[in-house]
Structure 1
Amino acid sequence: MESLIFILGIGILCFIYIKYLVGSALYKKIKEVVWGTLFVSNFLSSIFWFSISYSFLSNQERILLMISILVSASLTIQIVLKYRNKIT
């Protein structure tokens, strides 16, 4: 239960940080690329880990891994949409 709250809490903090990112245009662009790369790599590695170790994980571990995948995917989508809005 504590791990679930921790994952969701970190996800919420990252969401707020990305939404209200301040600074110069170059700083924002670099931060978006760095955070986007981090979340995409976490998303892909979590999916890979889930697929190869599905039979070895307990139900609680599967749920935590799925929540981690969903949080990473939602943060990646947020960064992509924010970056796309700045380009157009």
Structure 2
Amino acid sequence: FEELTARFYYSAYLFNRLPEYTFMPVEGTTYIEAMPLRGNMTKPLFDVWQHKIYAQVLENFWKPWGYVKFEIIKDPEHPMSFFEKPCLPQAG
């Protein structure tokens, strides 16, 4: 569970948008609608995934078990994982 949570945290860190919403009050009820994330920005939706930084995040989640960053990225192209098929994004 901690490994999956670390992936979510790091992905949220890489997210490049601040979501915008519209509010429409109608007869005592307020409707909230999310605006499209793409907009007119030319930047990608997410920054490039970097295994070294991901390993730092994962290290914090795995502290109770004593895993350190250097163990996690012993192989820089394939960070340590307890998933059968890790399926991590390509590092930039």
TM-score, length of structure 2 as denominator length: 0.26
Larger strand percent: 2
Structure having greater relative contact order (Cα 8 Å, sep ≥ 6):
1
